[in-house]
Amino acid sequence: MNWFSGLFRSRPAPDAPAPPPAVAVAAAVTPDKGLLRRKPVYDRHWRIVASTFTVRPLPHADHVHDHSQLDLEILLYEVTRLVQSGHYSGQVWLELPWERAALLADMAETLPGPVTVILHGEHQLDASASRDVLHLLRKKGLKVGVMLDGWLNQHATLLADVQLLMISPASPDPALLSKLVANGRSAMGGGEIWLAAVDSQEAAEAGFQFGVNYVSGKVFANPRFTPAKLPGEFIKLNHVLSQLRQGADFSLLANELKTDPVLSVRLLRYVNSAALALPNPVHSLEQALAVLGQEKLYRWLSLLLFSSSNPQPLDATLLEAALTRARLMELAGAGSTISSDSLYLTGLFSLLDYLLRVPRRQLLEELCAPAEVIDTLAGRQTPLTPFLLLAEAAEGDAEVDQHVLDGCAIEREAFARLQFDATLWVLAAMAG
């Protein structure tokens, strides 16, 4: 329950401690959390096992070498800050152009623990020099990966020197994907394969069937579920949410909660946690409800929809994704007249159909939420729609299209900061 303590803050998670002095960032650019981009990587059990980190393109240097070095310094600085904060403890994967590989080797001692580097982009070296670079990185203690492209297809012997192969096929053709995976596996003689930029859960599942180890991209898109009975836990919580929205007295709500001992204990534990810092302990449900108030209670109960008596690895992954959508929508809409609660709940509930494994239409027939939230999730155009589209687009491997940003009246630079604010907030909350 400790991770609930961070979910009701009105401000982003605090900045992490500064990195070691060895990471010296040039004064030309002040490091900024909006520069860093994080993408979760999933295994076949739908656990987030790693995150890839990149720096957004910046027009901050005229000389190519200076530009490359500065970008790399910023990337290492920001990743180190995040790891040192304690909010992120997963594997660190760095995506870098081939041209920066030698620079990374020179800075290897500043890396925050074990790191995997994935090289991509233009090949300015021949095959022999490229092999030397791969050997140098491995000698420095890095796990080395490469992105499969046309040049590597012609120099497939290099794949024997890498431990991770990234593939991102231009076509969703299953036959092509199967061939790429098989050829890559054969050329590597071992190692792991990462399928990037998938556009649906179906595509991700196909990748796993063909033997990939990891996937990333829009894995929570285009679900296909058949109608099923909603879990009893959902029905009970949804009933309490309905009573709460109708303005039921706290005494009535307390009696309803008492029928579920586990839920009662969770509520009392949260109210008495360090998050609220109450001067005296609370022992009754009625007191607990009064302390929380309607708004916080509704958010807390909504989060419990993602808990289960039989938790699966996917549940925690979905909760992180849903909270990220919720927080990003809330931050992105802060300058508008739209209710922050409606923004938050739309993002949170947008993945509830995945969690319950039921069609969204069936879920929305039962879910107790504001009408504009239901309408938005049903696909009807509302003031919330542009912000949901923004949150969904932010999960892709590519940068968000300008027209999506325009729909929310947000500049790209501001969005970059909001996106990482949301990421930090969720990581801090779940790590707590």
User: Are the beta carbons of 411 and 367 closer than 8 angstroms?
Assistant: no
Question: How, if at all, do strands 164-167 and 192-198 pair?
Answer: parallel
- Round to whole Å and give the CA distance between 351 and 366: 15
Where b means 16+ CB within 10 Å and e means fewer, 250-282 reads beebbebbeebeebeebbbebbbeebeeeeeeb
Q: What is the mean pLDDT of residues 1-10?
A: 40
pLDDT given for residue 110 in this prediction: 86
For residue range 82-103, what is the model confidence (pLDDT) as tens digits?
898 888 889 999 999 998 999 9
Residue 173 has pLDDT above 90, yes or no: no
Say how many C-beta atoms besides its own lie within 10 A of residue 351's C-beta. 22
Question: What is the pTM assigned to this prediction?
Answer: 0.84
- Provide CB contacts within 8 A for 259, sequence distance 6+: 236
pLDDT value of position 122: 87
d(CA 216, CA 228): 28
Q: Are strands 36-42 and 48-55 parallel, antiparallel or unpaired?
A: antiparallel
| Mean pLDDT, rounded, of the chain | 86
**Residue 272's closest CA among 286, 261, 258, 282?**
282
Phi/psi-derived region of residue 189, left when phi > 0, alpha when psi is between -120 and 50, beta in every other case: left
φ/ψ of residue 344, rounded to 5: -60, -50
Structure-model confidence comparison of residues 224 and 302, the more confident one: 302
pLDDT at 68: 67
- Nearest-Å Rg of the Cα atoms of the chain is 23
> Residue 225: its pLDDT value, please?
84
134/105 Cα distance (integer angstroms)? 10
pLDDT tens per residue across span 240-251 = 999 999 999 988
Residues sharing a CB contact under 8 Å with residue 67, sequence separation 6 or more, in sequence order: 60, 61
CA distances from 132 to 101, 123, 136 (A): 11, 13, 6
Compute the distance between CA of residue 206 and CA of residue 309 in angstroms, rounded to an integer.
Answer: 29
At residue 308, what are phi and psi to the nearest 5 degrees? Answer: -150, 150
Query: Which residue has better confidence, 16 or 239?
Result: 239
pLDDT-based confidence at residue 271 (cuts at 50, 70, 90): confident
pLDDT over 90, % of the chain: 53
In 76-97, which positions are buried (b, 16+ CB within 10 angstroms) versus exposed (e)? bbbbbbbbebebbeebbbbbbe
Reported as a pLDDT band with limits 50, 70 and 90, residue 353 is: very high
Q: Where are the domains of the chain?
A: 12-217, 246-298, 313-394+399-431
Residues 139-170: tens digit of each pLDDT: 999 999 999 998 998 999 999 999 999 999 87
CATH superfamily of 12-217: EAL domain (3.20.20.450)
Q: How many helices (H) and strands (E) does the chain have?
A: 18, 8
What's the angle, vertex CA 361, arms to CA 357 and CA 362, rounded to 5?
60
Span 356-402, pLDDT tens digits: 989 999 999 999 999 999 999 999 999 999 999 999 999 988 889 99
**Backbone φ, ψ for residue 56 (5° rounding):** -65, 145
